[in-house]
Structures are given as structure tokens and as C-alpha cells.
Amino acid sequence: MNQEKMIKTAKVLDTVFRIARKVALIALIVLVVAMMAITVVHLINPDATIGTGFASLEVGSVTFEMMPETTPTNRQILVLTWIISLFAVGCGLILYDILRQAGKILDPMKEGNPFHPSVSSNIRHIGILILILDFVQQITDFVLSAYANHLISKFLPSDASVLIESNFQLSLTGVLVFFILLLVSYVFQYGAQLQQLSDETL
Amino acid sequence: MPIILRLDRMMADRKMSLNELSERVGVANVNLSKLKNGHVSAIRFSTLEAICDVLDCQPGDILEYRRDDP
């Protein structure tokens, strides 16, 4: 009965992961193509406005109206957009691989045997990817806040001061998840050994 | 593995084929073949009991211990 539930759940999750993988891949392709198109447009016509423009800047509850001469240039906006896009593509690729590995874990489960030797290595792989994803997100936060700081200090009046935290802080969540998944992978590794022993017993 | 199964010898003594033994013991032909060729790591008492019952022998007649060379 429990095995039937596991097989059913594994099949449903496999379908969900497959759809999520396709959506992630399409989103990544669309993002890269859009960025290429924006860059080409900028190269052809450097004066074309990218997006809605940065006429105002919101920092918390305070909105700064920018003077026309202090508005960021198209090139600066393009650089910021490229930085965000590159990090988004990096995170998207890692997420895609996590979904792919999760799909691989479900393969033996769909056949009713979760203790396959490949499952433990796939779980460990996911743990490492989550650690990398967390690290990339930390770097993204740091770089974007540093760039935002740079832009704000450049475009605000000289007597105004706004501080955005741009210190790099290592989050322990990713490390914790990694170690938990590492332990789970050892459990599955031991389970696979017991399963092999059981299969070889007549 | 120092434990050797002498199933083929006992089957020859009883003039019994692998197919007949597998049918009477209730173990798949493939698995019994693995057992005969020593490709299993363990055997259940229930399986051993069924084989001994069909072949009318003692466990010692089909199991042999051979010390590994040092």
C-alpha cells in the first residue's frame, strides 16, 4: 500500500519536475534572447530608452525624483540589466540541474525501489548544487547592493546620504541544507547496500 | 566465497532437472541457476528447507565449506 503511494507520488512529481524543467529552460532562453535584442538595439541606437527609464528612485518609503542630468545613462542601465540577467541565468541553470537530478531520483522510485545506488549520489549532487545556488545568491545580493550604492551616491545631491548594506554575509541555510542532504544520502547509500543484500538472498 | 553449493551434484544423484526442481521448490529457474553457480550472497532457511525437502537430503549434503588459501 505504501509502495503504491510512493509510485503514484513519484509519477506525479516527475511530471511536475519535467514541466518545471521545460518552463525554466524556456525562461532562460527568452531572457538571453531579450538581453541580446536589447544590446543590439543599444548598439544600433545608443539614445533609445531602455525600459521605463530611471526618472525616480525608491529607497524604502522615500522616493527621490531625479534631475534629467543625473538620470543614469542607457549604458549604465544596460550594464545593471546584464549583471542581473547573468546572475539570473546562473541561478536558472543551477535550478534546472537540481530539477534534473530530482527527476533522476524519482526514476527508481517510479519502479517501486527507492534504494537504488544512484539515488544517494543524486541527493549529494543536489546538496552541492543548493550550496552553490545559495552562494551565487549571496554574491548577487552583494554585487547588486554595491552597484545600487554606487548609483545612489552618484545621482543623489551631495548633501543627501543613503546607505545600503553591501557587506558579504555567508548564509548558513545552504550549508545546513547541504549537510542534511549529505546525511540523507548516507541513509540511502546504506539502504541501497541492504537492498542489494536482500536481492541476492534466495 | 568459502561456502560452496553442491546443488548440481545432488540434482544429478536424484536425476532431477533444474526446471523440475525450480517448479517443486517454488523458486524461479533463473534464481535457482544463480544459486547453483554460487552467484548469491545468502540463502533463506525457508529456501534451504524447501530444497532439502524436494531433494530428500540434509543441508550438509548441498553446502560445503572450503577454507580460503592464505
Domain ranges of chain B: 3-65
User: A143-147, A162-166, B18-22: which has the minimum mean pLDDT?
Assistant: A162-166
Average pLDDT, stretch A79-87? 84
Is A145:A88 a contact under the CB 8 Å cutoff? no
Classify the complex by whether its ipTM is higher than 0.85, answering yes or no.
no
Length of chain B: 70
Residues 6+ apart with CB under 8 A from A190: none
CA–chain centroid gap for A74, Å, is 27
Per-residue pLDDT band at A51 (split at 50, 70, 90): low
- Enumerate the residues of chain B whose CB falls inside 8 A of the CB of residue A197: 41-42
Per-residue pLDDT band at A181 (split at 50, 70, 90): very high
Cell of B55: 531433494
What is the rounded CA–CA span in Å between residue B5 and residue A186?
A: 34
- Highest mean pLDDT among A6-15, A55-64, A152-161 belongs to A6-15
CA–chain centroid gap for A128, Å, is 13
Per-residue pLDDT band at A201 (split at 50, 70, 90): confident
pLDDT tens profile A27-50? 999 999 998 888 888 888 877 666
Are the Cβ atoms of B31 and A202 closer than 8 angstroms? yes
* B46 at A interface, C-beta within 8 A: no
Is A152:A172 a contact under the CB 8 Å cutoff? no
What is the rounded CA–CA span in Å between residue A37 and residue A43?
A: 10
Per-residue pLDDT band at A167 (split at 50, 70, 90): low
Is A85:A117 a contact under the CB 8 Å cutoff? no
Flag whether pLDDT at A161 surpasses 80: no
Are the Cβ atoms of B35 and A202 closer than 8 angstroms? yes
What is the rounded CA–CA span in Å between residue A83 and residue A103?
A: 30
pLDDT tens profile B16-67? 999 999 999 998 999 889 888 888 888 999 999 999 999 999 999 999 888 8
Q: Measure the CA angle with vertex A102, ends A98 and A108; round to 5°.
A: 155
At residue B16, the pLDDT reads 92
- Enumerate the residues of chain B whose CB falls inside 8 A of the CB of residue A200: 39-42
Neighbouring-strand partners of residue A64: A57
Average pLDDT, stretch A171-183? 90
* B33 at A interface, C-beta within 8 A: no
At residue A20, the pLDDT reads 94
Flag whether pLDDT at A56 surpasses 80: no
User: Which residue type does A55 have?
Assistant: A
Per-residue pLDDT band at B1 (split at 50, 70, 90): low
At residue A70, the pLDDT reads 59
* B31 at A interface, C-beta within 8 A: yes
What is the rounded CA–CA span in Å between residue A21 and residue A47?
A: 38
Per-residue pLDDT band at A104 (split at 50, 70, 90): very high
Average pLDDT, stretch A45-72? 61
Per-residue pLDDT band at A200 (split at 50, 70, 90): confident
Are the Cβ atoms of B40 and A197 closer than 8 angstroms? no
* A193 at B interface, C-beta within 8 A: no
Size of interface A-B (CB pairs under 8 A): 21
At residue A157, the pLDDT reads 59
What is the rounded CA–CA span in Å between residue A63 and residue A60?
A: 8
Is A88:A141 a contact under the CB 8 Å cutoff? no
Flag whether pLDDT at A199 surpasses 90: no
Q: How far is A196 from chain B (nearest CA, A)?
A: 10
User: A158-167, A183-192, B24-33: which has the minimum mean pLDDT?
Assistant: A158-167
Are the Cβ atoms of B43 and A197 closer than 8 angstroms? no
Homologous superfamily of domain range B3-65: lambda repressor-like DNA-binding domains (1.10.260.40)
